[in-house]
Amino acid sequence: MLQSITTFISALGKYDFLQSALITAIMVGVMSGIIGSFIILRGMSMMGDAISHAVLPGVAIAYMLGINVLIGASIFGILAAGLIGLVASRSKLKTDTSIGIVFSAFYALGFILISLAESATNLHHILFGNILAVSDTDMLTTTIVLGIVILFVVFFYKELLITSFDPTFAKTYGLKVQLLHYALMLVLTLVTVSALQTVGIILVVAMLITPAATAFLWTNRLGVMLILAAVIGAVVSVIGLYLSYTLNWASGPAIVLVAAGLFGISFVISPKQALLPGLWKGIGRTRRVSA
C-alpha cells in the first residue's frame, strides 16, 4: 500500500491530468461539504438529491448548443426547485411527493436529450463522474463556483444560519426567507454541476450529505461544522481519487465509499452518538452529550 501511495504521488508530479483531477476533487469536496451542511440542517437532503438529478436536461442542452454547462444546469436546477415549491404549495401533496414527481420527470427528459445528442461516453461520465478527464475549462469553472460558494456563505452567514435554525423567527423580522431559499438552490445547482465531474449526477447527493453529516456528529457549532465538512469533503475526495487511480475504480463510487466509511467510523466513535460512552470520558476535549 505504501508503494502504491508513492506511485500515486510520483504520478502526480508527472501527469498534468492527475494534478487537475486532484485540485478539482479538493475544490468539489470543499464546496459540497459547505453547501451540504446547510442542506442537511434544513432537512433538505431529498431536495439536494432532486436538484442534482434535475440538472440533467440543462447539461444535455448545454452540450447540444455548445454553451457553458453551468448556465444550462442553473436554469433547470432553479426551474425544478420552483416547480417543486409550486406543486407542494398549490396542492395538498406533501413536499417529498412533489420532489419525486418533478425530479424523475426532469431526469427522464435529460436522458432522452442526452441520447438525442448521441454522446454515450458523455452520458456515462455525467452519471458516474470522470475525475481523470477534467479539462482546464472545467477546472476554471470549478474555481469560480468555489469562489461563489465561499462568498455566498461568508456574506450571508447570519441569514443562512437563522433561516436554517429558526425560519419563523427570520420571517418575523422581515427577512426574505423564500428568496434566500432560492439563492441557496441556485448555489446548490452550481455545486451539483461541479460535482458532476468528480462523482457524477447519481452520487452528487452523497457528496452533499455524507461529509456534512459526518461533521455534524463531531461538533455543536455551525462554523466548526462548515469547516469540518469542507475538510472531510476534500480528504475523502483525495483518498477516493487515489483509489480510483490505483485500482482503476470509477472515481464517483470510490469517493462516495470513502465518505461513507468515514461516516461509519464517526457514527461509532463520535461523542454526539455516544455509542461508545466510555471513549471520551476524562479526555475533556469534548463534553459528552447527555440527556
Residues near 31 by Cβ (< 8 Å), separated by ≥ 6?
A: 145, 146, 149, 191, 194, 195, 230, 233
Q: Which stretch binds other proteins (CB under 8 A): 61-69, 119-127, 168-176, 273-281?
A: 168-176
Rule CB under 8 A: is residue 12 a binding residue for other proteins?
no
Q: Does 158 bind other proteins (CB under 8 A)?
A: yes
Q: Residue 32 or residue 164: which is nearer to other proteins going by CB?
A: 164
Distances (CA, A) of 170 to 40, 82, 289: 19, 21, 28
Contact flag: residue 275 with other proteins (CB under 8 A): no
**In terms of CB distance, is 32 or 219 closer to other proteins?**
219
**Of the candidate residues 219, 237, 251, 270, the single one contacting other proteins (CB under 8 A):** 219
Does position 183 bind other proteins by CB under 8 A? Answer: no
Produce one character per residue of 16-47: b if its CB has 16 or more CB atoms within 10 Å, e if not.
eebebbbebbbbbbbbbbbbbbbbbbbebbbb
For 216, the grid coordinates are 455534524
Q: Residues 216, 245, 263, 280: which binds other proteins (CB under 8 A)?
A: 216
Number of residues counted as binding other proteins (CB under 8 A): 27
Residues 6+ apart with CB under 8 A from 232: 29, 33, 211, 214, 215, 259, 262
For residue 246, the minimal CB distance to other proteins (Å) is 36
Least distance in angstroms from the C-beta of 222 to other proteins: 5
- The reply on whether position 171 binds other proteins by CB under 8 A is yes
Q: What CA–CA distance (Å, rounded) separates 88 from 80?
A: 12
Q: How far apart are CB 123 and other proteins at their closest, in Å?
A: 39
For residue 142, the minimal CB distance to other proteins (Å) is 26
- Identity of the residue, 9 or 277, whose beta carbon is nearer to other proteins in the bound complex: 277
- Region binding other proteins by CB under 8 A among candidate stretches 51-59, 132-140, 215-223, 251-259: 215-223
Whether residue 185 contacts residue 51, with contact meaning beta carbons closer than 8 Å, is answered with yes
164 binds other proteins (CB under 8 A): yes
Of residues 116-155, which lie at the interface with other proteins (CB under 8 A)?
A: 155
- Minimum distance from residue 84 beta carbon to other proteins (Å): 21
| Residue ranges binding other proteins (CB under 8 A) | 41, 155-156, 158-159, 161-162, 164-166, 168-175, 216, 219-222, 224-225, 289-290
